[in-house]
Chain A
C-alpha cells in the first residue's frame, strides 16, 4: 500500500520567499521598531528601559491574550476595558471599605489573595454573561459585549458612586496589606506584572497549541458547522473563551489598580481597542480560526514599543495616534496580501 502512495504524484509544498516574509511580518515589525528606536532614542536598549517597557506592555498583552481566545472562535470581546475598571473597583472597595455585615454590625476585610480571587471571579462572571448571551441567546458577539461594556462600566461607577478608592495599601490591623506588590513588586528585578504576563502567556500558548480545547477553539472559528459535526461542543467552547477573556481582563485590572495604588471607575476605557489592535497586529484573523498567542504578545510589544519609543523621541501624542492607526491598517493589509498570495499559489499548484 505504501508503494502506491510513493508512486502517486505528490504535489510539492512550495514556500515562496515572499510568503515567508509575509508570515513573519509581525516579528519583522518588532525588530524594525526595536532597531529604529535603539538607533534614534538614546538609552532605548538599556535594561531599565526595556524592563519598564515590558511592564507597560504587560497590561495590554494580558488583555490581548484573552481577546485572542475569543477572536480565534470568530467572536470579539468589547467588554474587557470595562472589566479592567470593574475588577479594580471591586478590589479597591474590598481593601478600602471591606464588606459591611450589617446583621452583625461588623465589617469584613478579606486578605489580599482573597480580594484578588474575588476580583478575578467578577471578571470571569462578566465573561460568563457574554458567553451565555452569545450561545444561549444567539446575540452577535459585538452587540453582546457592547452591552456588557456599558453594564460593567456602569457597575464600576455604582460601586463607589463614581469616586476613586485611594491609597490601597491596606491596614496592618486588618491583615490586608500587600496589594501594591502586584503593580510595583519585583522578583529578582523582574516586575511581578511581567512575570504574570510570562506565566499567563505560556499557559495560554500551551492551551491553544497542545490541548484538545485549543484545537476546538480553532475549529469553531474556522468552520463552526464542521466542528459541530465532528463532535466539538461548540457552545461550551464559546462560553469558555469569553470566561477566559473576562479573567484575563480582571488580572489586567488588578495590575492597573495596584500600580496606581488606587482604583478609579473610569480606568481601562478604550483598552479593548488596544487589545484588539495587538491581536490583529499579531496575525489573528478577525474571522476566526487563524492566529497564535505568541503573535498576539509580539503584536502587543510592537504597539508598546511604538508608544514608548515615540514618547522618548518627543513625538506628540496626536501623531502617536496617527502612527498607531497606520500600523494597524498596514498589518491587516499585509494579512490580506498573504491570504491572496497563498490562494494564488494554491491555484498555481493546482494547474501544475
Chain B
C-alpha cells in the first residue's frame, strides 16, 4: 500500500462492506462497497433506481441492509434506526422533506433532541436562540416561530439542513439538497459545506447535477442498477466520464424506421391547459399532433409538465381545458374508462403507486383495465382471460412461473412489463409511457424499448416521457421538448442533438 493510499484509508470514518438490500420485487442494492472520508465531500452518483437512496438510507439507519456490514472508525456497527445512527453522529437530509408543517421552525429543528429543563420542560427560549444562530450561519432570515408549512420549499430545505447541523454531526448525508434551491442559495449551501469540511465533517453528497458535483466533490462513487460501477478521485475525472459510468452502453439505437407521414395525425392536442395548485399552469396552452406509427419522446426536466400532460390525455385531470382528439373523436370531458375504450392507454411513472395493485396476482393486474373484453353475459370468461394473460406474459417475456403469483414477487423490470401488458390488453391506439425505463435493469430496459418500437411498427402512436437524454435520443423518432408546461422544441431524430435538447428544456427556466 502506498503512503497516499494509507493516508486515505486512515481518513475513512464510515465504511460499508458488501452491503445489499432486497425488497419484494426488486433488489435495490447488490453487495456494494462504499467508504466515507472525513473532511471530504463523498459524492454518490447514479441514475434513478441505481440504488443511491437505498445505500444512503442504510448508512443513516433508516433501512437495515439484507446483507453486508458497516464499520464506523473500523469498528463494526449496526443502526437500528435513524436515531441510533444519529447517536453515532450521522445526520441525514432526505430528498423528500421530513418536516412537520404544523410545527414551527424551532420545534422542527429540535424535534428529536429537545433541550429540556428538569428532564421534562422544553426550553423554547434556548431553541429559538440556537435556531437564530443556525439561520445566521445559513444566511437566511427565517424566524424560529414560523410554522414550517408557511415556508417556501427552498426555505424548508434550509430548515432541513439546519436540523441536521443542530446535532453535532460527524457525517452528514445530503440527498439532492439543491433540487429546490436557487443559484444564490446553492452558493450559500456550498460555503456551509466548505466550513463543515474544514471542521472535519464527512459529507455524503447525492445529486444529479453533474456540474455541481465536479465543483464540490472530492471523491465520487458511481452506482448502476444497484451495483458498484466505479470509484474515483473527483480531480481525476470529468463530466463525460461520469456520464458514461452512470449510463453505461445504451441499448442499440432504433432501427431506421420511418414513421408513416401520409395519414392525418392520430392524436391532436389543441390548446390544452391545466392549472397547478400554486396558481400557475402545469400545462400551458399546449398543442401537439402525433401520427400513428410514430415514437415520440417527450423530454424535459423535472416539473416540465410531462406527467401532467399524460394525465390530461388519459382523463385523470378532469379540470383540464382544451381539446384532445383521437382519430377525430373528441375525448375532452370523457372519464378514464371511456378514454381507455377509445384507445388511450397510460403506463404511469410510479408503477408501485399508480401502476399495480400489489396484493393481486400478475394475471389479475394484467386484465384490470380491459375487463370488458372478457365478458360473457355478466360474468368474466375465465378461459378467455387466462388465454390473453398467458399470451401477454409470453409476448412481453415476463419472467414469472404462473399468472397467479402476486405481482410484488416480481423484479422491477418484470413489474414494469406487467404494467405495459395491462395497457396493451386494452388494445390501444395511443400508448403513453411515463419514464418507462426508470428503476429497471439494463436488460429489461432494452426489452421495454424494443417493445415500444415494435408497437409503433404495428401502427400505434407511442409517446414516452423521460428526463434521460441518452434514452430519448436512442429510442424516439421525434423528440418533443417541454418546459414550464409548453412545447419548447420539436425535433426529428436527425435534427436532435444533446445541446439543442438541453437548451430547449431550459427555456424560460433561467428566470
Q: Which residues of A contact B (CB under 8 A)?
A: 1-2, 4-5, 8-13, 206, 210-212, 215-216, 218-219, 222-223, 225-233, 285, 289-290, 342-343, 346-347, 349-351
On whether the beta carbons of A347 and B23 are closer than 8 Å, the reply is: yes
8 closest Cβ contacts across the A-B interface? A222-B357, A231-B337, A346-B24, A230-B369, A13-B401, A212-B371, A289-B359, A231-B340
**B399 — nearest CB in chain A belongs to which residue?**
A8
**B24 — nearest CB in chain A belongs to which residue?**
A346
With A5-B397, A13-B402 already in contact, the answer to whether A231 and B336 are too (CB < 8 A) is: yes
Among B335, B360, B426, the one with the most A-chain Cβ atoms within 10 Å of its Cβ is: B360
On whether the beta carbons of A218 and B360 are closer than 8 Å, the reply is: yes
The listed residue (B359, B371, B406) touching A215 by CB distance below 8 A is B371
Decide if B122 is an interface residue (CB 8 Å cutoff): no
Decide if B114 is an interface residue (CB 8 Å cutoff): no
On whether the beta carbons of A211 and B409 are closer than 8 Å, the reply is: no
With A210-B380, A289-B360, A346-B409 already in contact, the answer to whether A231 and B369 are too (CB < 8 A) is: yes
- Which B residues are CB-close (under 8 A) to A223? 353-354, 356-358
Taking CB atoms and an 8 Å cut-off, the chain B residues in 451-471 that contact chain A are none
The listed residue (A9, A210, A346) touching B408 by CB distance below 8 A is A346
- Which B residues are CB-close (under 8 A) to A347? 22-24, 66
Q: Which residues of B contact A (CB under 8 A)?
A: 22-27, 66, 314, 316, 335-337, 339-341, 346, 348, 353-360, 364, 367-369, 371-372, 375, 378-380, 382, 393-395, 397, 399-402, 404-406, 408-409, 411, 422, 426
The listed residue (A229, A233, A342, A343) touching B354 by CB distance below 8 A is A229
- 28 A-B Cβ contacts within 8 A? A1-B394, A1-B395, A2-B394, A206-B379, A210-B379, A211-B378, A212-B380, A215-B380, A218-B359, A222-B357, A222-B358, A223-B358, A225-B354, A226-B368, A228-B316, A229-B314, A229-B346, A229-B355, A230-B340, A231-B335, A231-B369, A233-B335, A289-B360, A290-B359, A343-B408, A346-B25, A347-B22, A351-B27
On whether the beta carbons of B22 and A350 are closer than 8 Å, the reply is: yes
Interchain nearest-CB distance for B390 vs A (Å): 10
Interchain nearest-CB distance for B383 vs A (Å): 12
C-alpha spacing A351/B409, complex, angstroms: 12
C-alpha spacing A276/B307, complex, angstroms: 40
Interchain nearest-CB distance for B12 vs A (Å): 28
- Which A residues are CB-close (under 8 A) to B367? 215
- Which A residues are CB-close (under 8 A) to B375? 212
**A342 — nearest CB in chain B belongs to which residue?**
B406
On whether the beta carbons of B394 and A5 are closer than 8 Å, the reply is: yes
Interchain nearest-CB distance for A240 vs B (Å): 14
Among B316, B341, B354, B422, the one with the most A-chain Cβ atoms within 10 Å of its Cβ is: B354
Interface SS majority for chain A? helix
The listed residue (A9, A219, A342, A350) touching B368 by CB distance below 8 A is A219
- Which B residues are CB-close (under 8 A) to A2? 394
- Which B residues are CB-close (under 8 A) to A11? 399-401, 409
Interchain nearest-CB distance for A206 vs B (Å): 8
**B398 — nearest CB in chain A belongs to which residue?**
A5
- Which B residues are CB-close (under 8 A) to A13? 400-402, 404-405
- Which A residues are CB-close (under 8 A) to B401? 10-13
Interchain nearest-CB distance for B204 vs A (Å): 26
With A8-B399, A229-B348 already in contact, the answer to whether A343 and B24 are too (CB < 8 A) is: yes
On whether the beta carbons of A10 and B400 are closer than 8 Å, the reply is: yes
- Which B residues are CB-close (under 8 A) to A350? 22, 24-27, 411
C-alpha spacing A12/B402, complex, angstroms: 9
With A10-B401, A215-B368, A218-B357 already in contact, the answer to whether A229 and B336 are too (CB < 8 A) is: yes
**A4 — nearest CB in chain B belongs to which residue?**
B397
- Which B residues are CB-close (under 8 A) to A228? 316, 336
Interchain nearest-CB distance for B248 vs A (Å): 22
**B385 — nearest CB in chain A belongs to which residue?**
A215
C-alpha spacing A230/B364, complex, angstroms: 12
Interchain nearest-CB distance for A280 vs B (Å): 16
On whether the beta carbons of B355 and A226 are closer than 8 Å, the reply is: yes
Contacts A212-B375, A226-B356 known; 16 new A-B pairs at CB < 8 A: A10-B399, A11-B409, A13-B405, A206-B379, A211-B379, A219-B364, A223-B357, A225-B354, A229-B314, A229-B346, A231-B337, A343-B24, A346-B406, A347-B24, A350-B22, A351-B22
C-alpha spacing A351/B29, complex, angstroms: 11
- Which B residues are CB-close (under 8 A) to A225? 353-354
C-alpha spacing A347/B25, complex, angstroms: 7
On whether the beta carbons of B357 and A227 are closer than 8 Å, the reply is: yes
C-alpha spacing A229/B27, complex, angstroms: 27
- Which A residues are CB-close (under 8 A) to B409? 11, 346, 349
Interchain nearest-CB distance for A226 vs B (Å): 5
**A214 — nearest CB in chain B belongs to which residue?**
B380
Interchain nearest-CB distance for B89 vs A (Å): 31
- Which A residues are CB-close (under 8 A) to B405? 13
- Which B residues are CB-close (under 8 A) to A285? 359
C-alpha spacing A223/B364, complex, angstroms: 13
On whether the beta carbons of B336 and A219 are closer than 8 Å, the reply is: no
**A287 — nearest CB in chain B belongs to which residue?**
B359
